[in-house]
């Protein structure tokens, strides 16, 4: 039979195993939701206020919410009839069988607002697509709210 000290050690070991299992479950658990959104948005160039183009954006895929890593969208985006694959915030376009990284995509928590960074938009040679937006002032407001952390991390002034 076990003595008292061995029983206590086994109980502690069991508790540690249960705690590690519970932590693992919480870290790996996620919630998925299918989405199929069509939004009207604007394409803007930060240094060219008069260069604004309206466009339809369609997002189709799965939004995953993980307690540790946050929200991630995996799926497809359609802009001007072109299909882009999205995974881990990166926008990938297949061109002649090769993947080309087109930019990054950012959402608010319920994916009702989106900011799409194509190329080096903040250095003047890229594009920023924001939805839903019908006028530049709305687009800029949405972009600054969604991209707040990104702008601060990259020491970029808010869009105006």
Per domain, the residue ranges of the chain are 30-153
Average pLDDT of the chain? 81
Query: What's the pLDDT at 55?
Result: 92
Q: What percent of the chain has pLDDT over 90?
A: 17
Q: Is the pLDDT of residue 159 over 70?
A: yes
Which pLDDT band holds residue 85 (cuts at 50, 70, 90)? confident
Q: Is the pLDDT of residue 15 over 80?
A: yes
Q: What percent of the chain has pLDDT over 70?
A: 80
Query: Is residue 102 within 8 Å of residue 79, measured between CB atoms?
Result: no
Q: Enumerate the β-bridge partners of residue 53.
A: 43
Which pLDDT band holds residue 25 (cuts at 50, 70, 90)? confident
CA dihedral 104, 81, 100, 75 (to 10 degrees): 60
Phi, psi angle pair for 125, to nearest 5°: -110, 20
Decide the pairing of beta strands 70-79 and 82-87: antiparallel
């Amino acid at each position: 039979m076990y003595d008292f000290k061995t029983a206590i050690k086994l109980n502690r070991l069991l508790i540690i195993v249960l705690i590690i299992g519970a932590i693992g479950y919480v870290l790996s658990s996620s919630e998925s939701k299918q989405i199929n959104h069509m939004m009207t948005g604007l394409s803007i160039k930060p240094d060219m206020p008069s260069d604004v183009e309206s466009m339809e954006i369609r997002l189709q895929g799965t939004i995953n919410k993980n307690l540790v890593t946050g929200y991630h969208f995996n799926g497809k985006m359609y802009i001007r009839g072109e299909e882009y694959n999205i995974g881990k915030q990166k926008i990938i376009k297949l061109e002649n069988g090769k993947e080309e990284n087109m930019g990054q995509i950012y959402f608010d928590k319920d994916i009702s607002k989106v900011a799409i960074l194509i190329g080096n938009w903040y250095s003047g040679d890229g594009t920023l697509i924001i939805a839903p937006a019908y006028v530049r002032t709305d687009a800029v407001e949405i972009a600054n709210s969604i991209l707040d952390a990104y702008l601060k991390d990259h020491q970029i002034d808010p869009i105006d």
